[in-house]
Amino acid sequence: MITIRLLALLLAASLPVSAMAQSADTAYCNSLIRDYYRYVVKVGSHSPNTGSLDGQVAVEQCRAGNTAAGIPVLEQKLRGAGVSLPARG
């Protein structure tokens, strides 16, 4: 009985930590998306540029909450364009 209570307490205590990490990843992903559109896709410029397919997939993965898949691709796209990455969390 004590083991079950202890396990429930540990599980409850770990939930806010994982939610905070997820929130930080989401915020970082949003910063990467903003910079991807600003510096790689160059939204608002006169030349039509939609970015690469893998870049667009990474944006959609971030928006869907799959930050683990989207972040590395967007980071690579920004580095490849010579853009410094935004601060993380």
Give the three-class secondary structure for 89: coil
Instruction: Tell me if 37 is assigned to some domain.
Output: yes
Instruction: Tell me if 15 is assigned to some domain.
Output: no
| Structural domain boundaries, residue 53 | 21-89
Q: Summarize pLDDT for 40-89 with one digit per residue, the tens.
A: 998 666 666 778 899 999 999 999 999 999 999 999 999 999 999 999 87
The pLDDT score that the predictor gives to residue 63 is 96
Contact 85, 78 (CB under 8 A): yes
Instruction: Tell me if 16 is assigned to some domain.
Output: no
CA gap 54, 1 in Å, rounded: 51
What is the value of pTM for the model shown? 0.72
In eight-state DSSP terms, residue 40 is: I
Domain count across the chain = 1
Q: Summarize pLDDT for 1-13 with one digit per residue, the tens.
A: 566 664 455 555 5
Q: Which tokens belong to 75?
A: 């980071």
Instruction: Tell me if 4 is assigned to some domain.
Output: no
Instruction: Tell me if 67 is assigned to some domain.
Output: yes
Instruction: Tell me if 72 is assigned to some domain.
Output: yes
Question: What is the distance, to the nearest Å, from the Cα of residue 38 to the centroid of all Cα atoms in its chain?
Answer: 16
Q: Which tokens belong to 71?
A: 């972040």
